[in-house]
Amino acid sequence: MDRLIAINSKTDIPEQYRDTPIGLLLEYHNLNRPFETYSTAQLLIGMCMDNRKHMHIPDNFSFIIRTGGANMRYSEFKISFAVAVGGVKQIALIGHNRCGMVNLVSKKNQFIEGLISNAGWTKEMAEDHFMNYAPMFEIGNEIDFVLSEVPRLRKRYPKVQIAPMLYLVEDNRIYLIRED
């Protein structure tokens, strides 16, 4: 966790993010900044679909794409829409600790049994589904994954500022991830 930058005051926000939508996100969520009124999205938040996370932000402040592990590899059209049509110029990519997309192989039996009992699938269908998709959605280590996605997205969207972040489920706070 020494790669995380805690945001406990506005001065903790690095200069490149201060007074930007990314800085405002950190102020709203971590510092309880009073909400302003927005009519258009200021940024895009890419984050995990996990139900333990909730953003403390004003209405209409951001587009949000929620996908397992904050894996944006299969959401690029939606990102492009937010940039091209929505006009966002900043993205907060937020992973979180204790993510279910880490070590998917350890969840294989639970996944298969869950599809059999909850969805009515056959064992063969469930096994094939897991084997076909688990490699695409496995993220490895949460911090390392976010740090690998940020440069890929920066290359794809060179005019968009992208900040790597991690949400800790224990304290419900967002931390910036050091990139050095």
CA–CA separation, 130 and 111 (whole Å): 8
Q: Where are the domains of the chain?
A: 4-100+140-177, 103-138
CA–CA separation, 77 and 82 (whole Å): 9
For the CA atoms of 68, 71, 72, 78, the dihedral, rounded to the nearest 10 degrees, stands at 0
pLDDT at 53 (0 to 100): 85
Hey, which residues does 174 pair with through a beta bridge? 167
Class at the top of the CATH hierarchy for domain 4-100+140-177? alpha beta
pLDDT digits (tens, 9 = 90+) for 82-133: 999 999 999 999 999 998 899 999 999 999 999 999 999 999 999 999 999 9
pLDDT digits (tens, 9 = 90+) for 18-59: 999 999 999 999 999 999 999 999 999 999 998 888 899 999
**Count of CB atoms within 10 A of residue 148's CB?**
13
Run of H or E including 110: helix 108-119
CA–CA separation, 107 and 85 (whole Å): 38
**Strand, helix or coil at 66?**
strand
Q: Is the backbone of residue 87 left (phi > 0), alpha (psi -120 to 50) or beta?
A: left
Q: What angle in degrees, to the nearest 10, is found between the helix axes of 123-137 and 108-119?
A: 130
